[in-house]
Amino acid sequence: MIAPRLLRGLAALGVVVALRSDGVTAQSHALPQEDVQAIFKRLLPQIEQIRIFDHHAHPGFGDDPDVDAQATPPQHLPRRARDTNPEVLFALKALFEYPYADLSEEHMRWLAERSAAAEKSGRTDYFDKILDKCGIEASVANRVAMATYLNPQRFRWVFFVDSFLFPFDNKLVTAANPDEGVYIPLQEKVLRRYMQQAGVRTLPDRFDDYLAFITRVLEENQRKGGIAEKFEIAYFRSLYFADPPREAADRVYQKYSKGGVPTPEDYTLFQDFVFRYLISEGGRLHLPVHIHSAIGEGDYFSLRRGNVLNLENIVKDARYLGTTFVLIHGGYPFFREIIWLASMNNVYIDTSEIEVLTYPSEFKNVLKVWLQTYPEKITFGTDAYPFSNVLGSEETYWLGVYSARDALASVLAEMVASRELTEAEALTMARGYLHDNATRLYPPLPR
Ligand SMILES: [Zn+2]
C-alpha cells in the first residue's frame, strides 16, 4: 500500500494515483506486496466451485477404436505421464474410492473390472459421474465418432478432418518413420468411413466433386451434433501451408485420384489447398477449427515442422477472419510466442495436455504469461485420453482439473499480490478461463 501521507503529497503535486474500489492502487510491482499463500488459500476454494467446460478431451474406454483417429506409437513418455506417477492414486481415490495404496498389477485388475462392467452396461452414468466428480459441466469429445455410452447433454462432438488431405496412395508418407506407419493407415480408414457415410464408392472424377464431398460430410457431421472440426495434421506434415491456386491443386488431383504415388511436392501442394478449403468452410458453417499445435506423442514428432509459428500466415490472413481458430495444447513448448497470435480476434488458445505433460509449477509459468496478455482468449482443456491402463481418460480428467486449479489459483494469487488485478477481477478471469471463454464460441446445448 502507498502510505496516505505519500498519496496526499502526490495529490498536492497534481499527480493522480488510480485507486480501485477496494482501495488497492493500480500500480503494479515485480515483487509481491502481500502474502501470496494467504491469497491463494482464499482463491482456491472459490475456483473449485466454478463449473468447468473442458475444451479438448478424448473420453472413452481404452479398447474403443473410435476414441481417436490415431493410435499411440511406442514412445518415451515424460516423467509425469508415466504409469509410475503416484499422483494417479489421488485420482483413483477421488473418482472410484479406490481401496488400495499402490498401483500393483493385481489392484489394477480391480479397476479394470469396474471399467469393463461400465462399458458392458452401455449406460451413460459412468462418464457422467466422472465429470461430476471433477466439477466438469460439459466436455468436448474429440473422437472419430460419438459413443452411445457418452451422454449428449454432457459431451459435445468435435470430429477429425485430416483424412481429407490423404486421398491418394500414401506409400511414401507411411514409410517416412515408424510413427507414420501407425498413423496413416488409420487416416485412410477414416476417409473410407466418410466416403461410405456420403455414399461415395471411389474418389470422384472431378476435383470440384471431391470438394463437394468434403462439404457434405462437414454439414452432415454438424447436423449430427458436431460443434467443431479438428486437425491433428502436425503429426503428419508441416504446419506451414502455402497458398497454391485452385488450378494447381486440381491438376494434382487429376494426376493421382485414379492411382500413382504422389511426389512429396505434389502432395504438399494439394494438401495446402484442401486445408485452406476446410478452414474457409469452417468459417462459413460456424464450425470453429481446432488445430493440434504442440509437441505430440511419439518419438518422431517434429518440433520444427509442428512449431505453431508456422500457422502465422493462416491465422493472420484477413480472408479467414470469419473462421474461429482454437490452437490446441497452446503450442507448447513455444508458449511465449503463441500468445501473440491471440491478438487476432478469432484466435483462441487451449491449455490441454500442458497441465498433465508438465507439473503445476511449470504450468503456472505458462498460464501466467497468457493471463497477463490476452486472458479472454485462454480456454481450459484436459486432453483426457486412455493413455494406458493406469492413466485412462477418467484419471486424465481428474489430473488435468486438479493441476489447472492449483496453477490457476497460484498465478492469480501472484497477480493480485503484485497489484496486477483485484481478487474480484481474478475470479472473473478464472471463470473466463475455466468456462466462459470457450462456451461462447458454440451454440448452447440443445434441450
Ligand atoms: Zn488431444
In tens, the pLDDT along 223-259 reads: 999 999 999 999 999 999 999 999 999 999 999 999 9
Longest Cα–Cα distance of the chain, Å, equals 84
Report pLDDT for 445. 82
User: Residue 329 Cα, ligand 1 centroid: separation in angstroms?
Assistant: 8
User: Residue 440 Cα, ligand 1 centroid: separation in angstroms?
Assistant: 21
User: Residue 108 Cα, ligand 1 centroid: separation in angstroms?
Assistant: 25
Q: Using a CB cutoff of 5 Å, list residues around ligand 1, an ion.
A: 383
Q: Name beta bridge partners: 347.
A: 325
User: Residue 232 Cα, ligand 1 centroid: separation in angstroms?
Assistant: 8
User: Residue 251 Cα, ligand 1 centroid: separation in angstroms?
Assistant: 34
User: Residue 25 Cα, ligand 1 centroid: separation in angstroms?
Assistant: 42
| DSSP secondary structure of 203-239 | --SSHHHHHHHHHHHHHHHHHTT--EEEE-GGGTS-S
User: Residue 277 Cα, ligand 1 centroid: separation in angstroms?
Assistant: 23
Model pTM?
A: 0.93
Report pLDDT for 281. 98
User: Residue 123 Cα, ligand 1 centroid: separation in angstroms?
Assistant: 24
Report pLDDT for 125. 96
User: Residue 58 Cα, ligand 1 centroid: separation in angstroms?
Assistant: 6
Do 282 and 251 contact (CB within 8 A), yes or no?
A: no
Say how far apart CA 386 and CA 60 lie, in whole Å.
7
Report pLDDT for 2. 45
Report pLDDT for 4. 47
Helix (H) or strand (E) holding 327: strand 325-328
Say how far apart CA 170 and CA 172 lie, in whole Å.
6
User: Residue 328 Cα, ligand 1 centroid: separation in angstroms?
Assistant: 8
User: Residue 220 Cα, ligand 1 centroid: separation in angstroms?
Assistant: 23
User: Residue 393 Cα, ligand 1 centroid: separation in angstroms?
Assistant: 11
Backbone angles phi, psi at 270, to 5 degrees: -60, -45
User: Residue 141 Cα, ligand 1 centroid: separation in angstroms?
Assistant: 10
User: Residue 57 Cα, ligand 1 centroid: separation in angstroms?
Assistant: 6
User: Residue 168 Cα, ligand 1 centroid: separation in angstroms?
Assistant: 26
Say how far apart CA 412 and CA 40 lie, in whole Å.
8
User: Residue 381 Cα, ligand 1 centroid: separation in angstroms?
Assistant: 9
User: Residue 354 Cα, ligand 1 centroid: separation in angstroms?
Assistant: 11
User: Residue 384 Cα, ligand 1 centroid: separation in angstroms?
Assistant: 7
User: Residue 296 Cα, ligand 1 centroid: separation in angstroms?
Assistant: 9
User: Residue 132 Cα, ligand 1 centroid: separation in angstroms?
Assistant: 21
Report pLDDT for 20. 52
User: Residue 231 Cα, ligand 1 centroid: separation in angstroms?
Assistant: 10
User: Residue 349 Cα, ligand 1 centroid: separation in angstroms?
Assistant: 14
User: Residue 55 Cα, ligand 1 centroid: separation in angstroms?
Assistant: 10
User: Residue 350 Cα, ligand 1 centroid: separation in angstroms?
Assistant: 11
Dihedral in degrees, nearest 10, Cα atoms 293, 295, 299, 300: 40
User: Residue 78 Cα, ligand 1 centroid: separation in angstroms?
Assistant: 16
Amino acid at 347: V
User: Residue 38 Cα, ligand 1 centroid: separation in angstroms?
Assistant: 35
Report pLDDT for 388. 84
User: Residue 56 Cα, ligand 1 centroid: separation in angstroms?
Assistant: 6
User: Residue 7 Cα, ligand 1 centroid: separation in angstroms?
Assistant: 52
User: Residue 243 Cα, ligand 1 centroid: separation in angstroms?
Assistant: 27
Report pLDDT for 299. 86
User: Residue 394 Cα, ligand 1 centroid: separation in angstroms?
Assistant: 14
Q: Which regions of the chain are under pLDDT 70?
A: 1-25, 70
CA distances from 252 to 105, 191, 206 (A): 53, 18, 11
User: Residue 10 Cα, ligand 1 centroid: separation in angstroms?
Assistant: 54
Report pLDDT for 5. 52
Report pLDDT for 7. 47
| DSSP secondary structure of 390-403 | SS-HHHHHHHHHHH
Q: Name beta bridge partners: 136.
A: 52
Q: Name beta bridge partners: 289.
A: 229, 325
User: Residue 383 Cα, ligand 1 centroid: separation in angstroms?
Assistant: 5
Do 339 and 374 contact (CB within 8 A), yes or no?
A: yes
Peptide bond into 333 cis (omega under 30): yes
C-alpha grid cell for residue 102? Answer: 499402490
